[in-house]
Amino acid sequence: MRKPIIAGNWKMNKTPEEAAELVKALVPAVKGADCDVVVCVPAVCFAAVMEAAKGSNIRLGAQNVHFAKSGAYTGELSVDMLTACGVEYVVIGHSERRQYFGETDATVNLRVKAAVAGGLTPIVCVGEKKEERENGYTDAIVEYQTRMALTGLTGEQISALVIAYEPVWAIGTGLTATDEQANETISVIRKAIARQYGQHVADAVRIQYGGSMNPGNVKGLMAQPEIDGGLIGGASLKAPDFTAVVMYNK
């Protein structure tokens, strides 16, 4: 049985003071959740979130990581820097990183390998654009992105990471795939992993849905057999909304 994982991706939101206030509200609200709970926050909020979440079931995540140990990479953060701050999870390959900051399948792979080697759990994002879905390329796109992102990893390493299926057309738009569409595409990802690494690896890896999951649609999405959680955007910025998603089965 795969334990669900609900991760909030705060993107470029919240000052340290605001972050601490939100996490303090979440701590009692999500206590006893049946899923792993992660908040992926801006780096300036790491210390405030760690302090506010101390002793709780909320884990700290980052939104990106560089693949080099150190060096002349202005503005980047290494695995060692993140782990030293208490970070356990890291989002890699989000469509916004691909669209606005030149992230490619090759650099996603480098970041994933660096994160795994350094003890972080990657949340690896894959997903198709609107025109790709409309032209019938969804399965090919997500399979290719998945295979590229996982190149060079062992089956054991893949079993321990998280994949987030995020249809680009559903991020920040208020649109969402139907429960069946999300489940079907996540099934494609899982089958691709099975073909490459074996069914036991595919059965172990947790695959989230990330396209505008919110309190209104979480129950239907989480009822699907292939969906193991969510990577939550806008709904993770308000304590009542994120709590409703995390505690979807309560």
- Three-class DSSP labels, the chain: CCCCEEEEECCCCCCHHHHHHHHHHHHHHCCCCCCEEEEECCHHHHHHHHHHHCCCCEEEEECCCCCCCCCCCCCCCCHHHHHHCCCCEEEECCHHHHHHHCCCHHHHHHHHHHHHHCCCEEEEEECCCHHHHHCCCHHHHHHHHHHHHHCCCCHHHHHHCEEEECCHHHCCCCCCCCHHHHHHHHHHHHHHHHHHHCHHHHHHCEEEECCCCCCCCHHHHHCCCCCCEEEECHHHCCHHHHHHHHCCCC
* Structure confidence at residue 176 (pLDDT): 74
Instruction: Tell me the per-residue pLDDT of 52-89, one tens digit each, with 9 for 90 and over.
Output: 999 999 999 999 999 999 999 999 999 999 999 999 99
* Structure confidence at residue 173 (pLDDT): 76
Minimum mean pLDDT range among 31-35, 65-69, 210-214: 210-214
Handedness of CA 145, 147, 150, 152 (dihedral sign): negative
What would the mean pLDDT of 108-125 be, rounded to a whole number? 98
What would the mean pLDDT of 222-235 be, rounded to a whole number? 97
Does the annotation mark 226 as catalytic?
Answer: no
> From the candidates 96, 128, 143, 166, which is the catalytic residue?
166
What would the mean pLDDT of 93-111 be, rounded to a whole number? 96
Instruction: Tell me the per-residue pLDDT of 190-207, one tens digit each, with 9 for 90 and over.
Output: 999 999 999 999 999 999
Does the annotation mark 200 as catalytic?
Answer: no
Mean pLDDT rounded to a whole number for the chain = 96
Would you list the domain boundaries of the chain? 5-246
CATH for 5-246?
3.20.20.70
> From the candidates 94, 96, 128, 143, which is the catalytic residue?
94
